[in-house]
Amino acid sequence: MKELLKFLFLQFSRYRWQMTAIFVLMIIMLAFQVTFSYSFKYLIDEILTPARRSSVSFSLSRFYIR
């Protein structure tokens, strides 16, 4: 993954520094969305709080329903 990011960063930096700035902002926005999404917070709450087996299986089943 690091090699891919490094390659993409170098490709963008060859052309213009503006493109590099846009690329970095896109990566930051993606990381922000993943980190602070509702499902991520829900998983952290489920991991940090001890729960009964039935509630864990019920809560995990919510993620598989489409």
pLDDT at residue 17, as a whole number: 74
Average pLDDT over residues 15-23: 76
> Does residue 1 sit in the same domain as residue 27?
yes
* Euclidean distance between the first and the last CA atom of the chain, given in angstroms as a whole number: 29
Number of domains in the chain: 2
Q: What is the mean pLDDT of the chain?
A: 70
The predicted pLDDT at position 38 comes to: 66
Q: What tokens were used for 54?
A: 């039935």
What radius of gyration do the chain's Cα atoms show? 19
Can you tell me the distance from the alpha carbon of 8 to that of 31, in angstroms, rounded to the nearest whole number?
17
As a whole number, mean pLDDT of residues 33-40 equals 71
Closest CA to 5 of 21, 18, 24: 24
Based on the fold, state whether residues 1 and 12 are members of the same structural domain: yes
Would you say the pTM of this structure is higher than 0.75?
no
In 3-state terms, what secondary structure has residue 24? helix
4 in the same domain as 28:
yes
